[in-house]
Each structure stands twice: as C-alpha cells, then as structure tokens.
C-alpha cells in the first residue's frame, strides 16, 4: 500500500509536470513564472533540459523578474562584505537613494542660485526679506530638479501674522498678472477677512520667470516715521522754498508739503512704503499729490510718467483709488494695461487710511509696450481716462470690454450697455418677451450684430465730441449709412428693430456727460418724445428727461418745469429677474411721480 501510494504520487507529479510545462510556448510570461513556482521540487533534470530551450524562446524566464522581459544578469558569488539580511539590504538601499537625491539637488541648486542672483531685479533684493528669498530659491530648485513646469503657489506668514501668497510662473507673457489676480482667494464676505494690503511684482531679466507676492493684513505704522522719512520731509521743504525745481513742472509749492502735514501723512504710511519713497522722493511727493486729489471723495487720480533711466520705453503708472477694495482696483488696472498691450514689469500696492472717509489704495506699476514700439501721447491719455472710469463701470460693460471684445474701447462699451438699458422700458411696450432686458443685451452684443452696435456707439461719441462734433449734415449721413448696412446685412427682425431704435435714441439725445473725466456715471438728456409709448401721443410731454447708467444701477429723472421740487426713490431688487421687471416700468413710475 505504501508502494502504491508512492507510485500514484509520482505518477501524479509526473502527469502534473507534463500538463504544466507542455504549453510553455503559448503561455504569457506571468503564467511561466507561476508555473515555475508551482513546479519547484519536481524532477530538476527534466526541467533544466526544457528551460534551456525556453530561455532561447522567452528571454528572462529564469530571472526572478522574468515577467518584465529583462535579461538576467550573470550570477556572481556574494562578497564577504555584502549585506545578507533584508534589513541590511534595505538600510543600504535607503542610504544610496538619499545620497543620489542629495547629489542631484546639490547640482540643481548650484545651477539655480547663480541664475537667480544674476536675473532677479535689484528691487527684489531690496524689498524682499532674506528668509523669503531662501524659500523662493529652494522651491524653484525643487521644481527644476523634478523636471516640472515652474508653476508654484506658496503660502507663508510674516512675524506679525500677515499672510503672504507667492505665485511663481514661467515666462513673462502679457496678461500674467491679470491671471494671478483672478486666482487670488475672494473672501470679502468671510468673518475673518483681511484686505490685500501690498503686492510685489518681479520678473527675471531673461524673461524666464515671473514672481509676484501678495500680502494680506495690515501693520501699524512705525512711531519714528519722521526719522525714517527724514529725506522725504527735507525734499518737500526744498520744493516749497524753491531751492529744488522740478524739471517736468509737476512739483510746485503746496500746503501738503509743509513739514507738519508731511509728518502727519507719513504716520499713516507703512514703513516699507516710506523706505521705497526714500529712494525717489520726487515720485513719493507726486503720489502724495494724487492722494490729496481723491482724499475725502470717491474718485480716482492717475499719473503716467516716462522713465528716463536705462529702462527706456518704460512708464510709471501711478494711481490713487478712494474707497475701493484693493484686489478689485488691482484687477481693473491690470486688465486695462493688458487691453492696451502693456506688460507689467514691476508693481506696488499700499493702502493708506483717509480718516473718516475710509482708505485710499495706492498703485504703482512699471510698464512697457508689449511690441516695444513707441507709445503715442494719445494712447497714454486714453489709458489715463479709462483708468479713472473703470471703478464706475457696470459689470456688463466690464465683461463686454475686457472679456468678449478686448479691442473695444471702454467708452464704446459703456455707451452700448447704456443704450441697451435705456431701450428696455421703451421696447418692452411693443413686445415684453422679445424685447426683454436680457434679450436686448444678448442680441446687440452678439458677435453677429456687434459691428453695427459699435458703429452706432462710435457715431454717438463723434456727435458729442467737444473738440470736433459732427455737424447735422454729417450726422444724418452717418445715420443713413448705418441704416443701409443694417438693412442689407441683418435679416433678424428683432435685431433690426433694436438697431433702428438704437439710432433713434442717439438722434433724440440732446446732451451727455460722456467726455467729463471725473464723472461717476454716464448721463443723457433726452428729447421726451423718445419715451412716448404706443398710443400715448395725447399724454403730456415732460419738460426734461434724464437717464443715468452706472455701476449696477440705472436712473431716470423726469420734470415738467425748468425748476421743480422733487425727491429720489431708490429701488433695490433682490434678484436679476426682479431687477428686469422693475426696469420695464422704471420710466412710467418716474413719469407718474413727477
């Protein structure tokens, strides 16, 4: 019985071996390994004869990692100093990996540090503390060592608790700053919100990298500002007494340059802002004048100066914005510079208290034209005008000008959105569904019809240009030309009616404030006949009708005498849909109250 058992067992093993090894040619490498493991301990003589044949067919079948198809290295006898236990092998492998990584990072750092020191601008080393500079170098070296693209967002804190966000991006393409600002966290409604109080914008000399720092939170001004800013105070006194004459004629004696007034102003400024001002007292005093222009108001002051140093073709754009969220003011400035094809080389932002009036955001940017061509004075004047207007633009205008049609000027975009808003209470009486507020805007600003809307808005601006207004004959010719183009090119009935009514509104506009540089909204004085509804010819015409379009609001003013008493009614709908409903009966309500 014992012998039978052995015979059966041997037969079974022999049968299993043949069944497992016979189809080697059709097996996958993984199956070969499994088969080899199962057949361990079988008759080695027969197995070794087959493996020599199999090895020639499937390389690596004898290797421990044969399933990967790698050829096994020739076996060698273990040296007496070689690790034998797994724990020793793991320790040696770990040390080898650490050594290789250290050597790789060392080589990368040896390449990054000289490049970083040679290409970062001087202002970076003057304004950024050493601790942050070391963090930037380490982060850049780690990314380069991993052969990854240079996209980094770093978060850290200053010793006084202020938060610092550092964005590092490859290249210095136009629009980089705008994209970074749009990526900033928007937490204005959070309970622990702290405002953006400072920015640092830098780019390498070889245009390989942009590094921007955004500081959140405020720091109390130093108590020894009269010592820190002593050179600024002395410079201001010399301007007042006439011992220093500004070659550009920008700085003239002013009460704000008196010693007491300057010390009071410096006490509200951050120490970092004063330290930067010490390097160029003239520019600091120019910014002080911008602050004085908007102090106690809601306005914006802008000054653009060419740079006379080795940075030829560059311009300093200084901007003071009263009572605006710093992040919003920064985004508006960055967007307008991008639209006008300017590249931002350096930027600074500081927030200065303005007493009971709130705060004033001070923005300074060093810019240059993207195409390196000379900039016409008219371009700089237009940029300054639009910078003063951008704070008061309606979101629909901002979307139209900055996102949908960047080629469009702010004035044309604002005119189109104003005319769309004005036509809603007029056209809704003809067809409330077809001429809803949303349909009017979407139709006239669609890619198909926007050229005609632009032509009408451009005609409106030319008609009221104070330097060269259109004559009545030229205006009539322009109207006829646009009407013929609409009749030839536009087949949509709704679009045709809207464009024709748009021209009709321009014809019935008597006056406008569109060319006033310090306006907060766009206002039109209208011929009251444009507002007469169908079948309302017998209603009494008002003496005057005024329409105002601004940031998130529209307003009508109706009067039946030259001098009349009245009041103001403010309606604040809770949703866009409710706003559209109120807009449809807006004029009728004002007419009835008047």
**pLDDT at residue 223, rounded to an integer:** 60
Q: What is the pLDDT of residues 491-510, one digit of tens each?
A: 999 999 999 999 999 999 99
- Residue 19 is predicted with a pLDDT of 39
Give me the pLDDT at residue 70, please. 52
In the structure encoding, which two tokens stand for residue 521, read together? Answer: 């909204």
pLDDT at 374 (0 to 100): 81
Name the pairing type of β-strands 342-353 and 553-559: unpaired
From 306, 311, 289, 313, select the one nearest 362 (Cα to Cα). 289
The confidence score (pLDDT) of residue 83 equals: 64
pLDDT given for residue 47 in this prediction = 43
> Can you give the residue ranges of every domain in the chain?
2-68, 109-218, 221-392, 410-593
Q: Output the pLDDT for position 74.
A: 55
Model pLDDT, residue 21: 41
Tokens of 88: 């020793």
pLDDT at 308 (0 to 100): 66
Q: Nearest to residue 198, comparing CAs of 316, 329, 107?
A: 329
Indicate the DSSP class of residue 257: G
Query: What would the pLDDT profile of 338-375 be if each residue is shown by its tens digit?
Result: 888 898 888 889 999 998 889 999 999 999 888 877 88
> Quick count: other Cβ atoms within 10 Å of Cβ 280?
13
- For the stretch 416-421, contacts whose Cβ atoms lie closer than 8 Å and that sit 24 or more positions apart, written own/partner, are 416/444, 416/445, 416/453, 416/454, 416/457, 417/441, 417/549, 418/522, 418/524, 418/547, 418/549, 419/456, 419/457, 419/460, 419/502, 419/505, 419/506, 420/444, 420/445, 421/549, 421/554, 421/583
pLDDT value of position 270: 84
Per-run averaged pLDDT (10 residues), the chain, 594 residues: 38 40 43 42 45 48 50 59 73 85 86 92 88 92 86 88 90 84 78 81 89 85 70 90 73 89 89 86 92 92 81 84 91 90 88 90 90 84 90 93 90 96 93 92 95 96 94 95 94 94 96 91 95 82 93 92 81 87 90 88
Q: What is the pLDDT of residue 38?
A: 42
Q: What is the pLDDT of residue 550?
A: 92
Q: Please, which residues have CB within 8 angstroms of residue 111's CB and are 6 or more apart in sequence? A: 144
pTM above 0.75, yes or no: no
Q: What CATH number matches the domain at 221-392, 3.30.70.260, 2.40.50.140, 1.20.200.10, 3.10.105.10?
A: 3.30.70.260
Neighbours of 318 (CB within 10 A): 19
Q: What is the DSSP string of 158-183?
A: -TTS-EEEEEEEES--TTHHHHHHHH
In the three-class reduction of DSSP (H, G, I as helix; E, B as strand; rest coil), residue 537 is classed as coil
Tokens for 582? 């109120």
Residue 381, CB-side half-sphere exposure with 13 Å CA sphere = 5
CA dihedral 369, 310, 308, 245 (to 10 degrees): 160
């Amino acid at each position: 019985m014992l012998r039978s058992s052995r015979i059966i067992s041997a037969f079974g093993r022999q049968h299993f071996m043949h069944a497992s090894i016979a189809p080697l040619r059709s097996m996958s490498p993984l199956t070969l390994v499994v088969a080899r493991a199962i057949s361990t301990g079988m008759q080695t003589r027969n197995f070794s004869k087959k493996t020599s044949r199999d090895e020639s067919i499937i390389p690596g079948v004898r290797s421990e990692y044969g399933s990967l198809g790698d050829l096994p290295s020739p076996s060698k006898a273990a040296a007496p100093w070689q690790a034998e236990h797994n724990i020793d092998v793991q320790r040696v492998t770990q040390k080898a990996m650490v050594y290789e990584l250290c050597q790789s990072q060392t080589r990368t750092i040896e390449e990054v540090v000289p490049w970083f020191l040679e290409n970062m601008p001087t202002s970076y080393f003057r304004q950024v503390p050493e601790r942050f500079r070391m963090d930037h170098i380490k982060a850049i070296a780690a990314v380069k060592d991993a052969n990854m693209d240079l996209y980094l967002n770093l978060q850290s804190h200053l010793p006084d608790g202020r938060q610092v966000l550092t964005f590092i991006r490859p290249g210095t393409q136009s629009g980089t700053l705008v994209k970074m600002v749009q990526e900033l966290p928007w937490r204005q409604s959070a309970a622990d919100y702290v405002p953006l109080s400072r920015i640092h914008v830098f780019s390498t000399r070889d245009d390989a990298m942009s590094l921007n720092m955004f500081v959140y939170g405020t720091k109390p001004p130093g108590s020894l500002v009269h010592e820190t800013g002593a050179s600024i105070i002395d410079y201001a006194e010399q301007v007042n007494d006439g011992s220093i004459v500004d070659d550009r004629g920008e700085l003239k004696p002013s009460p704000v340059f008196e010693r007491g007034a300057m010390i009071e102003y410096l006490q509200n400024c951050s120490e970092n802002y004063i330290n930067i001002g010490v390097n160029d007292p003239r520019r600091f005093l120019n910014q002080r004048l911008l602050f004085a222009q908007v102090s106690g108001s809601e306005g914006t002051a802008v000054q653009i100066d060419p740079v006379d140093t080795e940075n030829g073709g560059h311009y300093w754009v200084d901007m003071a914005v009263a009572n605006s969220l710093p992040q919003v003011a920064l985004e508006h400035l960055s967007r307008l510079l991008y639209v006008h094809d300017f590249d931002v080389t350096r930027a600074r932002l500081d927030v200065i208290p303005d007493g009971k009036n709130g705060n004033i955001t001070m923005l300074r940017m060093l810019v240059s034209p993207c195409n390196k061509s000379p900039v016409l004075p008219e371009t700089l004047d237009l940029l300054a005008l639009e910078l003063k207007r951008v704070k008061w633009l309606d979101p629909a205008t901002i979307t139209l000008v900055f996102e949908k049609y960047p080629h469009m000027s702010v004035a044309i975009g604002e005119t189109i959105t104003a005319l769309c808003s004005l036509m809603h209470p007029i056209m809704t009486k003809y067809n409330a569904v077809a001429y809803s507020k949303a349909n009017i805007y979407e139709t006239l600003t669609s890619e198909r019809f926007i050229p005609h809307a632009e032509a009408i808005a451009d005609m409106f601006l030319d008609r009221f240009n104070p330097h060269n207004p259109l004559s009545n004959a030229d205006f009539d010719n322009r109207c006829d030309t646009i009407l013929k183009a609409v009749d030839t090119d536009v087949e949509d009935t709704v679009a045709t009616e809207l464009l024709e009514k748009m021209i009709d509104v321009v014809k019935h506009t008597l006056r406008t404030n569109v060319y006033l540089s310090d306006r907060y909204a766009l206002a039109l004085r209208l011929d009251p006949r444009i507002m007469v509804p169908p079948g309302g010819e017998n209603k009494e015409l008002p003496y005057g009708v005024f329409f105002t379009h601004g940031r998130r609001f529209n307003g009508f003013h109706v009067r039946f005498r030259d001098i009349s008493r009245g009041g103001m009614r403010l309606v604040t709908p809770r949703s866009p849909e409710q706003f559209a409903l109120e807009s449809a009966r807006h004029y009728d309500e004002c007419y009835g109250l008047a």
